[in-house]
Amino acid sequence: MARFAALKLALTSFLFAAAFTGPAPAEAKGPAERSAGGAPSTIRVVELPRQGRETFELIRQGGPFPYDKDGSVFGNRERLLPVHQRGYWREYTVKTPGSRDRGARRIVCGGPPRTPDACYYTADHYASFRKIVE
C-alpha cells in the first residue's frame, strides 16, 4: 500500500509541475515553424534538396510516385499546419540517400493534387515544417 501511495504522489507531483511550467518549446511555436519575426519559416523550391525538388515536380505532374503511401492523407494531428478538414493535406516522400526505408523527409501539400494551395517541407518527420515558396 505504501508503494502505491508513493507512486501516486510521484505522478501527482509530475503532473502538477508539468501543468505550471508552460508549454514545451515545440508547442510554443504554433502552426508551422516560426522565424524570429513570428512568420512561418519558408524554403524556396531551389533550396530544397535535389530529391525534394524531384518530389515537388512529381506532385505538380500528378505522379507517378515511387512509394505506395505517397498521396495518402496527412492527419495534421499535431496542428502544426493550418487547420483544414480531414483529407485536405496529403503527404509525399522525399527520398533520403542512404536510408533503407522512407526516411524522415516529406512534402505535405493541401488542396487540389496537381495545383496545391500550399506545400510544406519537413526534414524531421513532421516535428517542424517550412512553407515551400516559388
For the question of residue 125 being annotated catalytic, the response is: yes
DSSP string, 56-68: HHHHHHT---SST
Burial environment of residue 55 by CB neighbours within 10 A (0 to 12, 13 to 18, 19 or more)? buried
Which of 47, 57, 78, 125 is an active site residue?
125
Residue 127: its H or E element = none
33 is catalytic: no
CA-to-CA distance for 109 and 121, rounded, in angstroms? 9
- Single out the catalytic residue among 57, 78, 91, 134: 91
Q: Which residues are catalytic?
A: 91, 125
